[in-house]
Structure formats: structure tokens, C-alpha cells
């Protein structure tokens, strides 16, 4: 995951979780803490893997996004 958002500079980046996750207290804590974002159950080849919590920018390509970190 990128260390910071190339759009707004925030370091608060959350990973997308795709599919139908099993509930747990840790899962709920990660959702509330904005460490993960529910992506839904329909998965394609062009889904974002993470997003900026502050400006909601989605990140689609790990290689391209890492080129923006400082």
C-alpha cells in the first residue's frame, strides 16, 4: 500500500476487503478504525486495492501508486 495519498498527502490509507467476510470483533474494530473498507461481493479484474480515508481516492495499480510516495 502507498505510505501516503498522492492527491491530498494523508497517511490514512485503508485496504479494500472484497467478498463476504466473516464477522469478528477484530473485523468490526478495523471497520470502525477505517483500516479496511468493504468493497462488496462482486469482484472484477479492475477493482481498487486501497483508498485514502481523507479524500476517498481509490488506488488501482500498486506499481503506479508506489511511484508517488515520498
DSSP string, 12-34: -EEEEEES-PPP-HHHHHHHHTT
pLDDT bin (cut points 50, 70, 90) of residue 69 is very low
Residue 21 pLDDT exceeds 60: yes
pLDDT over 90 at 63, yes or no:
no
Under the banding of pLDDT at 50, 70 and 90, the label for residue 1 is: confident
Tell how strand 58-59 and strand 50-52 pair up.
antiparallel
pTM for the whole structure:
0.75
Amino acid at each position: 500500500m502507498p505510505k501516503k495519498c498522492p492527491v491530498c498527502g494523508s497517511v490514512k490509507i485503508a485496504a479494500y476487503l472484497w467478498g463476504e467476510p466473516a464477522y469478528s470483533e477484530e473485523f468490526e474494530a478495523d471497520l470502525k478504525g477505517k483500516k479496511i473498507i468493504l468493497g462488496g461481493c462482486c469482484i472484477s479484474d479492475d477493482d481498487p486495492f486501497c483508498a485514502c480515508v481523507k479524500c476517498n481516492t481509490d488506488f488501482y495499480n500498486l506499481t503506479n501508486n508506489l511511484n508517488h510516495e515520498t
